[in-house]
Structure 1
Amino acid sequence: MTATSLVIGSSHKDSRTLLDKIKGTAAFSHIWKENDVHRAISSVRKRPVDIIFYGVTDPAGETYDWMHRLYGDQEGCDVPVFLFARAGDEEEKIRGLEAGACDFLSFDTSPKELAARIRTHLGKKQQLTLLRRAKEDLEKQATTDGLTGLFNRRFFQRTLEAEIARSTRLNQSFSLLLADVDHFKQINDLFGHLAGDAALKMIAGAIEGSIRLSDTACRFGGEEFALIMPGTHGENAFRVAERLRRKIARLQIPELPEHPLTVSIGIRPVPAGDISDATRVLAEADEALYRAKRHGRNRTEVHDPLQPEEEDWPSPLVLPATQRV
């Protein structure tokens, strides 16, 4: 079994005694020791452990506040804690267990019994770890596009609504950018769907490599991508879009030899004080995207509330992204 333990003693003698007992169980491949409990708990964030052993010198004066810190951190919330004391009545044991310890033992506990208890709690911790990872994987799958690794449309919708609420509350601007791959149907027809998938992955990588931590990039659907940019408005949003458009046009995709890959982009700036809802913001970004398609593709258009809608072009959000060629 490969496991790591942390031994904490409030005195050098306690640490030495505990260390010898833990080594005697042969349950751990790595053991590290610390005398200061608060420094030790802080280090768990950077140096994960499977079990913590703590020697209690004065049970009556112990507050166990450090266990509240440990279990309040994501890194330590599943770590079992064994408390050891030379003497102590039942009330002290109950107090330690109620603070979060998984066991309260005597320094005289035999190595055989201690090893059995360790195996039990290591098994439980492993099960908790597997369950937590499974939950995280499910949450990731629910919000992530399987092909590109970007967030999916469900996450985009939730984030857009949250960003509108945030910008209204803080009176700050943001911009929504929609990008659609030009003539994507031709790519699939000429080179196959695997080549089309490779192109989408490359574009997603270009987007991820061009945004800030505060931005949210999503695969909106088919060959269309969405980017929510907090604190970005007007000319700045246009510059970001143009930089991204040129970057995508320079991509070298082995599956598309000598075939140009370009995107059309529509931007809906949302200035501070704008009271538009998510549906309207998305529709107007889509209008700008259609205008970019209409005016020759491989270009960026910004939504202009004063510009009339072009009647001979389909109304926004009528066609799915896969039909935009």
Structure 2
Amino acid sequence: MKALVLSGGTGSRLRPITHTAAKQLVPVANKPVLFYGIESLVEAGITEIGIVVGDTAAEIEEAVGDGSRFGARVTYLRQEQPLGLAHAVLIARDWLGDDDFVMYLGDNFIVGGIAGPVAGFRRDRPDAAILLTKVADPALFGVAELGPDGRVVSLEEKPAHPRSDLALVGVYLFTPAVHEAVRAIRPSARGELEITDALQWLIDRGHALHASTVTGYWKDTGNVIDMLEVNRSVLEGVDGRVEGAVDADSELVGRVRVEEGAEIVRSRIVGPAVIGAGTVVRDAYIGPSTSVAEDCVIDSSEVEFSIVLTGSHIDRAGRIEGSLIGRTVHVTGAPRAPRAHRLVLGDHSSVHLTS
């Protein structure tokens, strides 16, 4: 069995972070989201992995390499334009051959992994299998409608009027039967080859489609709020350990991981939290559900329920919470007078200022 991991999206909902970085490489607890997916595939016994890449191909290839660090063998498959999930299956046809495969969206996060669904698929071997979960706003996802017997009756991508609250989780399991389906469908009104249309094609022709409900934690990390929530969830399982330096005037409360080369000086850190290698936290407070990446400086500031990426510097910035701060960002407190804000912001930035 192989795995097809989709990592070619533009990440428009995470701009401006994704103007300069692949959305699948934004870190959760200081590890890229994509890595969690690859690890869950390997844990499920799948080590032949094809990664579909687009404009951020070079960055993803540099981060993942040949896959050996994960115990896998990785092949990169170029998708020139993001023309839909079913299109990704089309362009991967030669690599997939006649093998069964898992299609995994590289920005999805499933606590507990996918070993159970993969084992069930191998045992029963339907033509396709999907995972479903109840969501508050199904119009944002592919939606499944079930009949009285629990079987899937219909599927629709981002419907204006959803027929249920059951969204498709970004993990799909297929036999080679799906190849005929993706060749048969036509682009949707969005101009994409929808995997939901391919699944509907299979249903309409009597192919076996199994659906199971995910009861654990699942998130599509496509926006900032969901990214912060996933970060919080992962940090809940972090073991506290200190590999860096913590001076006698500092206090660590709860599960706090201080990575090698980090320095904590006259500061208080309340876990769960991770402080990356080479980062300096001085005269500061780091609150729960916060991950600070490597080589940052947090000085005379408070940061809580946030993600701070590599090389950023936060100095005398007061209190920051619920924030995603990109790479090599400088956040500096200004003098109280005159009362004015001085901003240098990239496209699609979002700033909240007190009056």
Please say whether Structure 1 and Structure 2 have the same fold, judged by a TM-score greater than 0.5. no
What TM-score comes out, normalization by structure 1 length? 0.21
Which structure is higher in helix share? 1
